[in-house]
Amino acid sequence: MTTEAFMNLTSRVIQCVIVSAALLSTFGLQAQTFPNKPIRIVVPFAPGGNVDVTARVISAAMTKQLNQTVFVENKTGAGGKIGAESAIRSPADGYTLLMGSNSSLSVAPNLYSNWPYDPLTALAPITHLSSVPFVLITRPGLGVKSMADLVRMAKQKPGSLTMASAGSGTSNQLVGEFFQSVTGTSFLHVPYKGAGPALLDVVAGRVDLLFDQVSSSSSHIEQGRVDALAVSSATRWKSMANVPTFVESGLQGFVITNFTGLVAPQGTPVDVLEKLNQVANAALQDEAVKKSFATMGVEGVGSSPQQFSALIKDDLQRWATLIKEKNIKLD
């Protein structure tokens, strides 16, 4: 190698080192100054459901932790597709997050061939926030007091009972589809733009039943506005110990838990993700959050990004297997 060639090579190496150092410095500075403006958490469903309520409780605690506003924006439609896609197409800077759940991270991507993103490659998991089972509720005056009563009525009048859901392709619907498959019943599906509006119409008596998260239905159950027939946890759920499980009611293996968690667009700087993870996990230890979760019947979790990523991967596979076994199709 000539002296001139050696000098040119050395110059290029030095330039690469300088650029790399500058990039590392920029990322480090970004994490140190983050956040310097409000953070938006997109909820892809209407206000009032489990995902929305959890987001609002956590955002308030994160606001205190960061001394910076963390606010919730509801972007509804297409079973959560519109809001979720909007969030993950946002700049990967940590200022737009998605409040993810089974519906947007593992159920809908398995049900729709044209779902706009792959949860394993398009998202950067932050933390697993909560877990909560589903509860089968019916409108007041339907005339059923147990799961067996409902199955009997549904078989006597196939397709006449109406089943609300948070939207087509949501976990609420899929749990209902699974129930129909294993019990040999048939309901008329009525999709809404979130669990909140669906629940309100069950309370008002406009639809017959809903497979809802315990967190959003618990107060209505306690006040007698709806009847709770069964809960999808492995054992009776602490906040409603008088409600039997689906397993107790005769459906072996009917154990399904809904999760929520924060995710960001892929490409968000690692240092920013780590800071968000620390803040969100700390928010779960806030006494106001613990009190709200206890009232809602929600179990706070907390995790590393890697643990939450593994959960999403496992849940994707679980729903894929169930959908294939039960031949559930929506498109």
Q: Does any domain span residue 23?
A: no
d(CA 176, CA 163): 8
Q: Indicate whether 214 and 231 sit together in one domain.
A: yes
90 and 128 both lie in a single domain = yes
Examine the domain organization and report whether 38 and 115 are in the same domain: yes
**CATH number for the domain harbouring residue 41:** 3.40.190.150
27 part of a folded domain: no
pLDDT digits (tens, 9 = 90+) for 289-309: 999 999 888 999 999 999 999
126 plus 264 within the same structural domain: yes
Q: Which residues make beta-bridge pairs with 31?
A: none
Domain boundary, last residue among 206, 240, 274: 240
What pLDDT is attached to residue 125? Answer: 98
- Residue 112: the pLDDT is 84
Please, where are the H alpha helices in 120-255?
A: 147-156, 171-183, 195-203, 214-222
Q: Domain containing 107: what range?
A: 32-132+258-326
- State whether 231 and 86 are in the same domain: no
Tens digits of per-residue pLDDT, 167-218? 888 889 989 988 998 999 999 999 998 889 999 999 999 999 999 999 889 8
CA 8, CA 252: separation in Å to the nearest integer? 72
112: closest CA among 162, 167, 73? 167
**44 and 181 assigned to the same domain:** no
User: Do 137 and 235 sit in the same domain of this protein?
Assistant: yes
pTM attached to this predicted model = 0.80
Is the same domain home to 89 and 145? no
Residue 10 within any structural domain of the chain: no
* pLDDT confidence of residue 27: 47
Residue 56 lies in a domain: yes
CATH number at residue 144: 3.40.190.10
Residue 174 is assigned to a structural domain of this protein: yes
pLDDT means over runs of 10, the chain (331 residues): 52 51 49 90 92 96 97 91 94 98 91 88 97 95 96 96 92 91 94 92 98 91 96 92 96 92 98 98 97 91 97 92 77 62
Choosing from 240, 267, 295, the residue where a domain stops is 240
Do 234 and 266 belong to one domain? no
Residues 52 and 150 in one domain: no
Decide if 73 is inside a domain: yes
Number of domains in the chain: 2
The CB density around residue 323, as the number of other CB atoms within 10 Å, is 18
Domain boundary among the residues 212, 240, 268 is at 240
Cα 231 from Cα 244, distance rounded (Å): 6
Do 124 and 147 fall into the same domain? no
Strand partners, 262: 99, 127
Task: Name residue 265's amino acid.
Answer: P
Is residue 4 one of the residues assigned to a domain? no
Q: Is residue 13 part of a domain?
A: no
**Domain shared by 230 and 143, yes or no:** yes
DSSP 235: S
| 52-67 pLDDT per residue, tens | 999 999 999 999 999 9
